[in-house]
Amino acid sequence: MAKDSGKQIDYERIAKMESFRQLSRKKNSFLWTMAVIFFVLYMLLPVLTSYTEILHQKAIGEITWVWFYSFGLFIMVWGLAHFYVGRANKFDKEAREIIDEYERGAGQ
């Protein structure tokens, strides 16, 4: 147990609260989804360039689709990071609400 503003916090009790378990499930689902999306799109580049000719086709002049896909990966990373920060802020707010609920005695 740790101290927070002079109060003892029973983290095991918080972990057993239904609101905490729901937040944990939502957060894990979100993080796994983001990780899978990133991994699949990232790994498609070497697969598509090594085993197919799709990205080797010329798009504009001598520029092939590989360059557009690669640039798209940069946009994807920044987009996912922006999306993650927004969701993380919501998760932080929900976590604060769970702590407030615990402090009001709901976790007992």
Q: How confident is the model at residue 106 (pLDDT cuts 50, 70, 90)?
A: low
Q: Where are the alpha helices (DSSP H) in 1-108?
A: 11-16, 18-51, 65-103
Q: Where are the domains of the chain?
A: 19-107
Largest CA distance in the chain: 68
- Asked if 43 and 69 touch (Cβ cutoff 8 Å), the reply is no
Neighbouring-strand partners of residue 3: 8
Q: What is the pLDDT of residues 26-84, one digit of tens each?
A: 999 999 999 999 999 999 999 999 999 999 999 999 999 999 999 999 999 999 999 99
